[in-house]
A and B are shown apart, each in its own frame.
Chain A
C-alpha cells in the first residue's frame, strides 16, 4: 500500500484581514513508496510543517487530493497506521513519563499490559532511564526522546516526523536512527521526515525533496545525490545558494 499520495494540493494561511502574511503551499505531485524513508528539506518558512499538517488534516486543504494509507486523509481510519511527531508539542507536565505515555497510548490501545511492555522495549532501545521522572523535570533532549517514544509506541506503519532530532545529543540521535532503521528492516515501515540537521539525512533517507515557497522544487534519490554531490548537505546548500543568487 502506498502510505502517501498527494496531488495538486493547495493549502495555507490567509494572514489576517490585510492578508499581509498570507502563505500558500502548492504541491503538484508527491508520493511516498512503502518502506521508504523520505525527507522534505527547505529553509524556514518554506511550507514543510504546513504540508505535514495538511496531510494529517490538522490544516485544511483548499483543493487537491491526499491519500493516506490508501484512504482519503479526511477519514479518521486513514490515521490508524500513522503516527505523528509534531515539531511543537505539549505534554501534561505534572505526571511521570511512563504515566503520560500510558495515558496517550491508551487513547487507541486498551491493553495496558501491552503498553507497558512496549514502553519498556522502547526505553531500552532509546536508552531511556527516566520513565519515573515527572515530565516537567525533563531536559530538552529528554523531552524530545519522550515525544519520540510516544510517536513509536503504537507500532504503526507510517511515521511523520517533524524535526525529530531537535535537542538530541549525538548518542541519543544515533539510538533513534538505529531504532528507525531496525524497524524498517523488521516491519518495512515508511517515514516522512523534515529536519534541519542535514548530515543525518545522508544516513537514513532514501529520497529527498527540496521545498521552497510552498512548492517542491527538486526531488532525487539518495544514490543520485551521492553520485553528483559529496553529501546531502552540499546538495542542499548548492541548490538554495543558487536559488538565493537568482
Chain B
C-alpha cells in the first residue's frame, strides 16, 4: 500500500515543484551568486554587487516549499478516501490501520527524500562556491520535513473532515498560522505588557493541540539566521522537540479514529 501511495505522490506534478524549485534556486545560485561567505550577521550570498543574508533567502525558499506542500498534499488523500476509490483500496486484504500508516509513511518518505535532495544541492553549492561550509543552513533545511509533516497532519484531519480540497487547503493555512501565533503567544503578550495569567496558560496549552508548525518553523528560521560565530544548537531544546511531537498526537489520533470508523 505504501508503494501505491508513493507512486501517487511521485506523479503529483504540483509536489514535484518542490525539488523543481530547489533545482531552480541551485542553478540560479550557481550562475549568479559569485560566492557565499560568513559575515558578521550570519551567512551572506553575494550576487555581483548585492549581498543578501542567507537566512532571509532560505526562509523565503522554505515558505515557497510549504506553500507547494499545502497545495499538493491534500490531493491524494481526498481522492483515496472518496467512496469510489476507497471501495477499490479497502476491499483489498488491507486493514484501515494499514492504510492509515501506509499513507503517513509514504508522505514521510517523500518529504524526507525531497529534503535530502534539497540539502544535497545546497551542500554542493557551498562546496563549490562557499568560503566556509554553513552547517546551520543545512540543519535548518533538515528541519523542513518536520514542518511539512506537521502541515500534513493538519491536512489529514481536515481532508477527512471536509472531504473538500479547497476547504482543506484554506483551513490548513489558517491552522498553521494559529500554530505559529500560539507558539509565540508569550513573547507577543509579554511584549505588549500583559502579565501571564490563566488566559495565557490556556493559550499555551492550546498550542499542544494544533500540529506544531510553530516550533518546527522556529527551529528552521533560528538555524537559518544563526550568527557567523559557530553553530548555536541551543534552540533545539528537549522541551521544543517534545512540544513538536506531543502536538502531533491529538490531530493524528482524531484522523485515525475517522478512518477506522467511517462508512465508505
Contacts and interface: CB of A to CB of B under 8 A. Distances in A.
B124 to A, nearest CB: 33
Nearest to B263: A59
Interface string A44-67: 000000000100111110000000
Contacts of B131: none
B177 interface: no
A106 B4 contact: yes
B4 A107 contact: yes
Given A88-B84, A107-B89, A76 B94 contact: yes
A17 interface: no
Which of B84, B85, B87, B98 neighbours the largest number of chain A CB atoms within 10 Å of its CB? Answer: B87
B83 interface: yes
B85 A107 contact: no
Interface string B86-98: 1111111111001
Interface in A77-115: 77-80, 82-84, 86, 88-92, 94-95, 103-104, 106-108
A90 B4 contact: no
A150 B91 CA distance: 13
Given A92-B8, A106-B3, A84 B93 contact: no
Given A60-B263, A106-B3, A106-B4, A76 B87 contact: no
A103 B7 contact: yes
Contacts, number: 69
| Chain B binding surface SS class | helix
B35 interface: no
Nearest to A49: B87
Contacts of B91: 56, 58, 79, 82-84, 86
Nearest to A147: B88
B105 interface: no
Contact of A89 (B3, B88, B95, B98): B88
Contact size range, B: 20 to 34
A86 B94 contact: no
Contact size range, A: 20 to 34
A86 B84 contact: yes
A79 B88 CA distance: 12
Contacts of A150: 88
Given A92-B8, A106-B3, A106-B4, A58 B92 contact: no
B93 A79 contact: yes
Contacts of A86: 84, 87-88, 91
Contacts of B7: 103
Contact of A76 (B4, B8, B98, B263): B98
B164 interface: no
Contact of B88 (A13, A76, A104): A104
A196 B89 CA distance: 25
Interface in B82-117: 82-95, 98
Contacts of B94: 76, 107-108
Contact of A88 (B11, B83, B98): B83
A95 B10 CA distance: 13
Q: Which 7 A-B pairs have the closest CB atoms?
A: A90-B84, A86-B87, A84-B91, A80-B93, A76-B95, A58-B264, A79-B93
Interface of A: 13, 53, 56-60, 76-80, 82-84, 86, 88-92, 94-95, 103-104, 106-108, 150
12 contacts: A56-B90, A76-B94, A76-B98, A86-B91, A88-B87, A91-B88, A95-B11, A104-B88, A107-B4, A107-B94, A108-B92, A150-B88
Interface of B: 1, 3-4, 7-8, 11, 79, 82-95, 98, 261, 263-264
